[in-house]
């Protein structure tokens, strides 16, 4: 039984090793460069398959962009320089964090406006004028109650 379990574990280990081998392998001189590469490939968006980053996507363009990021990282370019390089070619679209400008400002303003409107509405509903007593009506009601007795 023990042997059987060991065999299963071993087969999993072999399987994962083989899937790694089929992926592109990039060698980096420093750990910082390697970290930057993995960070950037997660934050850059694939222009072809839009809901994936370039690390996830199998599209050829994603592979080309990964290779380009690798090349630029190895040339010693900084994070911002590489993002700018990609934006120059594929537009703001290629980076998941949109820049703040006249069109995109609403992404931040709209939620704030909604919260503000909500607060105003709550405050106004709290400040309802107290109901003024209408003595004539009260008397009428009292009379009705009397009659019911």
| Interacting residue ranges for another protein, rule: CB under 8 A | 24, 47-48, 50, 59-61, 64-65, 67-68, 87-91, 93
User: Which residue number, 5 or 25, has a Cβ lying nearer to another protein?
Assistant: 25
Beta-carbon contacts of residue 63 (< 8 Å; ≥ 6 apart): 24
Q: Which is nearer to another protein, 33 or 61 (CB)?
A: 61
CB of 143 to another protein, least distance (A): 32
C-alpha dihedral sign at 18, 20, 25, 31? negative
Residue 83: C-alpha distances to residues 15, 58, 61 (Å): 35, 20, 16
- Helices marked H in the chain: 2-22, 31-43, 60-74, 79-90, 105-126, 135-148
Which C-beta is closer to another protein: that of 38 or that of 48?
A: 48
DSSP string, 79-93: HHHHHHHHHHHH-GG
Of 34 and 68, CB closest to another protein: 68
Of 56 and 142, nearer to another protein (C-beta) is 56
For 143, the 3-state DSSP assignment is helix
Work out how close the CB of 138 gets to another protein at its nearest, in angstroms, rounded to a whole number.
Answer: 25
Please give the distance of CA 38 from its chain centroid, rounded to a whole number.
17
């Amino acid at each position: 039984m023990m042997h059987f379990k060991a065999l299963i574990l071993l087969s999993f280990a072999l399987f994962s090793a083989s899937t790694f081998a089929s992926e592109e392998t990039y060698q980096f001189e420093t750990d910082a460069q390697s970290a930057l590469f993995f960070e950037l490939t997660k934050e850059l968006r694939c222009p072809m398959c839009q809901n994936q980053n370039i690390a996830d996507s199998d599209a050829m363009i994603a592979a080309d962009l990964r290779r380009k990021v690798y090349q630029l990282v190895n040339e010693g370019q900084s994070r911002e320089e590489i993002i700018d390089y990609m934006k120059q070619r594929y537009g703001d679209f290629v980076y998941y964090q949109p820049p703040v400008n006249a069109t995109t400002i609403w992404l931040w303003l709209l939620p704030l406006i909604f919260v503000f409107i909500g607060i105003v509405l709550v405050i106004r509903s709290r400040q309802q004028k107290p109901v003024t007593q209408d003595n004539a009506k009260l008397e009428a009601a009292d009379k009705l109650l009397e009659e019911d007795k």
